[in-house]
A and B are shown apart, each in its own frame.
Chain A
Amino acid sequence: MGDEDFSVKYGDKLPHKTRSLCPECTRIIDAIVYEEDGKVLIKKTCPVHGEVIDTYWESFEFYERARKYLAKEVKLTNTNTGKFLGHRGENCPMDCGLCPNHKSHTALCNIAVTNVCDLSCWYCFFYAKKGDPIYEPSIEQIRFMLSNLRNQKPVAPNAIQITGGEPTIREDIVEIVRQARLVGFEHVQLNTHGINFATNPDMVEELRDAGMSTVYMSFDGTTPKTNPKNHWEIPYSLDSMRKAKVGAVLVPTVIRGINDHDLGNIVNFALNNIDVVRGINFQPVSLVGRMPRHERESQRITIPGAIQKIEEQTNRTITKDDWFPIPCVAPVTDFVEALTEKPQYNLSNHFACGAATYLYLDKEKKKVTPLPQFLDVEGLREYLSEKTAEIKDGKNKKLVGAKVLLKLNGFIDKKKQPKELKFGNLLYNALVKHSYDALGEIHYKMLFLGMMHFQDKYNYDVERVQRCNIHYVMADGRIVPFCAFNVIPEIYRDKVQNEYSMSFEEWEKKTGKSISDIKYRRDASKFEQGEIYKNAYNNLVNYFAGGNSI
């Protein structure tokens, strides 16, 4: 096929020409995303290492729906790659910083504060082994990185995720959270396995008082087999958070054949803990390391595949139609931007990177209702786009705002909307009053379900990384998309962290600890005997089977 046989414009129909990486030598090569047997595949040929085919998305039908949700690009006005280079992103993703060709501002930025972890999970790529250099930036360096992020223009990021390794290993973690608040982040999220919250409940309160907003916590399944990482501790961690009034987002890494049969149970577990669990962010696995195709296929799952599993495992309560690609919120942002005349927080990432929905739980009736089943999402998007155009054409903003207020309830199916949920009011506060607290209120009343599929070298799509809005800030001040930082660690994560690391011996001397001493040793039977554990796993209401106990 010649070039004319492929679409090249973002969001156009398949087959689509993009660029990818050779999984062997990381050379940038052309790639074609195409449909075959109802699936979407990506194919590329390295001149040295030959052809590679991988699954891009398991459903062509879902891809066709998703590709229509396009958000406008957001270009940074103060890029971070050095004017002397004068480049425009031609060598993407080899010259991140962010560069002038990047198409999204930072929505959520990760800052790794250590590469030490007290666990050694087989599928994790981010912990130091004995003898490895130890990366633990100082408070001064952390302030530098955070300040640099906050200076991003036109939109200063307001959400930071403190991550590792295991960040709670650092003795100054409370101070790090405090510094993040002082620098100006409204939302400070801690990414942790949560085990230390189970064994040291006071830590949650200290972190909350320092400004921690949410805990982003690994949770790969509801059984010891699907979640060997923190199955025993999770009930106690949640209990500590419940007492401290700190919300949690559960984060399952989804691997086909390992825990993909447990996704419905994970949602049900979250609903049973909805007083403390604000959401679940499923992360289909990113396959790091060399794997032949048949091995990849045995573990590969993508967003439509995970959504399909959830539909099957929730008795079709949460259907695939209830999920929307993340950029679907673009008309909302555009409307608020037109109303305020200020650049707004814009989720302009690639449509294939993530999807989301919200669930409302009526505890009394034991009924779960996904938001799109009572909110006309498409109609609302269309209406807001029209109103945005009217404001841009010079119509009185207050008048348009009042019209929106009157019309909003028209997009809500009153018969299906849970009675105690006044969603129209919540929407109005979020849209017209553009209140951050209103967004928070929606999260308090509902359970957020998200999907975020990070890439690997097999399914890499440069168009996705160019629109990435989940970033890392590095110790040298550069800001790098997640899928550049972790997929090409030899020039980003590992290279820069090694440059700022201390030797293993220095770290032991400085902290008075040794890596083997800090490794966590579990007394499973002690946890299993506790009431908190028993209640968490044995007395669950099954919200997907008419309220019968599982």
Chain B
Amino acid sequence: MMGRKGKGVKVIDIPPMNLKDYGELPNYDLKLLKLRIAGLEEVRAGAHVQYNLYLNPNIIAAFVDYSTEQCFVVINDKEDKDSVIKLIEGLTVYSGSETAKYKALLETEEDVRYPDILKKRFNLELIE
């Protein structure tokens, strides 16, 4: 479940800012999922999906771009990516008087790292 330095994971910029002030940070096995969601007609529908993703304690970060129908989700390893899709597809879209379901498709997944200061958040220990 744990990563280590030099594993070759892609480093991306996750909050908080100013990580550089804290020097070299350990890598943890988090996953960044990129999904495509059909049915995001409006800004508020993107927020609807995002809000519900945030309610899952294993989802670290989520963002839905309604204009491109892309959804980015950072999950910890307790989370199963299929359950993210199920969660999205379980939500109902309301557009005027019509109701429908979102359709979610996993496009890519990649490893990401998280800073040391957050290790307590995930209850992880660094393997040197």
Contact = CB atoms under 8 A, between A and B. Distances in A.
Interface of A: 19, 26-30, 47-48, 78-87, 90-92, 94-95, 97, 141, 144, 147-148, 151, 475-478, 488, 490-491, 495, 498-500
Given A28-B43, A80-B17, A148-B16, A85 B54 contact: no
A27 B21 CA distance: 37
Nearest to B68: A86
A147 B54 contact: no
Nearest to A48: B94
Given A27-B48, A144-B22, A90 B43 contact: yes
Given A147-B18, A491-B55, A84 B46 contact: no
A530 B54 CA distance: 52
Contact of B17 (A87, A141, A477, A500): A477
Given A84-B72, A148-B18, A151-B17, 17 more contacts: A27-B47, A80-B15, A82-B15, A82-B61, A82-B63, A83-B13, A84-B12, A90-B43, A95-B50, A97-B15, A144-B117, A151-B18, A476-B118, A476-B121, A478-B16, A495-B57, A500-B120
Contacts of A495: 54, 57
A81 B51 contact: no
A135 to B, nearest CB: 11
Contact of A91 (B21, B46, B117): B46
Contacts of B13: 82-84
Contact of A82 (B14, B47, B94): B14
B109 to A, nearest CB: 13
22 contacts: A28-B43, A28-B51, A30-B44, A48-B94, A78-B18, A82-B12, A82-B15, A83-B13, A87-B65, A90-B43, A90-B65, A91-B64, A92-B47, A94-B47, A141-B117, A147-B18, A151-B18, A475-B121, A476-B16, A477-B16, A477-B117, A491-B54
A300 B59 CA distance: 36
A84 B12 CA distance: 7
Question: Number of contact residues on B: which range applies?
Answer: 20 to 34
A487 to B, nearest CB: 12
Contact of B32 (A81, A84, A147): A84
A141 B54 CA distance: 23
Contacts of A30: 44
Nearest to A96: B15
Contacts of B64: 91
Contact of A94 (B12, B16, B18, B51): B51
A26 B32 CA distance: 26
Given A29-B44, A84-B72, A147-B18, A47 B51 contact: no
A352 to B, nearest CB: 22
Contact of B47 (A28, A86, A498, A500): A28
B102 interface: no
Interface of B: 12-18, 21-22, 32, 43-44, 46-48, 50-51, 54-55, 57, 61, 63-67, 72, 94, 117-118, 120-121
A84 B17 contact: no
Nearest to A474: B16
Contact of A47 (B43, B63, B67, B94): B94
Contacts of A28: 43-44, 47-48, 51
Contacts of A475: 121
B18 A500 contact: no
B120 to A, nearest CB: 6
B51 A27 contact: yes
Report, nearest first, the 5 A-B pairs whose CB atoms are least far apart.
Answer: A477-B16, A47-B94, A491-B54, A91-B47, A85-B63
Contacts of B16: 80, 148, 476-478
Contacts of B72: 84-85
A497 B7 CA distance: 30
Residue in A27, A30, A478 whose Cβ sees the most chain B Cβ within 10 Å: A27
Contacts of A144: 22, 117
A44 to B, nearest CB: 11
Contacts of B118: 476
A91 B63 contact: yes
Contacts of A86: 65
Contacts of A82: 12-15, 61, 63
B43 A94 contact: no
B95 to A, nearest CB: 8
A484 B57 CA distance: 18
A536 B2 CA distance: 61
B63 A148 contact: no
A490 B22 contact: no
A78 B19 CA distance: 12
A467 B83 CA distance: 36
A128 B32 CA distance: 33
B51 A26 contact: yes
A148 B20 CA distance: 11
A91 B12 CA distance: 21
Contacts of A92: 47
B15 A476 contact: yes
A32 to B, nearest CB: 15
A26 B54 CA distance: 12
A84 B15 CA distance: 10
A477 B51 CA distance: 20
B122 to A, nearest CB: 8
